[in-house]
Chains A and B, each alone.
Chain A
Amino acid sequence: MLRLAGLAALALATAASAQTAYFDARAAGQVGERYDGYLGYSTAAPGPQARAQTESINIRRRALYSDLAQRRGVSPQEVGVTAGCTLLGRVQVGESYMLSDGQWRRRTAGQAAPVPAYCTGG
């Protein structure tokens, strides 16, 4: 059991270190979460490595959303927007995010989690 946990931790650490450029671009506000469950580029374009890692993440997400949508009889877009609610809630201070009005914003310190009203049924 301990060995399994160690392996899982190692796998996670490897995955994390391989996406350093993405994390850097995200912390710099160049890459951010969008309301539709995918990552996007805000104003300043990130470097090619961060861009490639971002595209790769989006491709994985698209496959996961499509698969879950098919199993539950809803559209992939609906799954994506639902995921967007959770993902926007995880946006850290300093990171960029895009709401359904298409505008990029940057989360500032002390600001509440930027989850759109439709996420909570409001």
Chain B
Amino acid sequence: MKRPRLIAVPLAAAALTGCVSLKTPEKPIEINLNVVIRQEVLVRMQKDVDTLINSNPQAFPQAPAKPAGQ
């Protein structure tokens, strides 16, 4: 009597796992130090970030141009 029960439990667990994975369409990108970045955010934020960089030279200083010939 005990055997069929033991088989049924892993089958139910497998079915549940299948359901969960179907509900996560996002593609997170794993980066060092456990920072998870969504590709969609990277693309969406790029223009804003470039504006931020260009309008804040104190935080993103550009080296003065080298004299000609160097």
Contact = CB atoms under 8 A, between A and B. Distances in A.
B46 interface: yes
B33 to A, nearest CB: 7
Contact of B53 (A12, A83, A102): A83
Contacts, number: 87
Main secondary structure on A side of the interface with B: helix
A81 B33 CA distance: 12
B49 A15 contact: no
Interface residues of B, number: 28
Contacts of B6: none
Closest 4 CB pairs of A and B: A60-B59, A100-B32, A82-B45, A100-B31
Interface of A: 12-13, 15-16, 19, 22-23, 26-27, 35-36, 57, 60-61, 64, 68, 72, 74, 77-79, 81-83, 85-87, 90, 92, 100-102, 118-119, 121
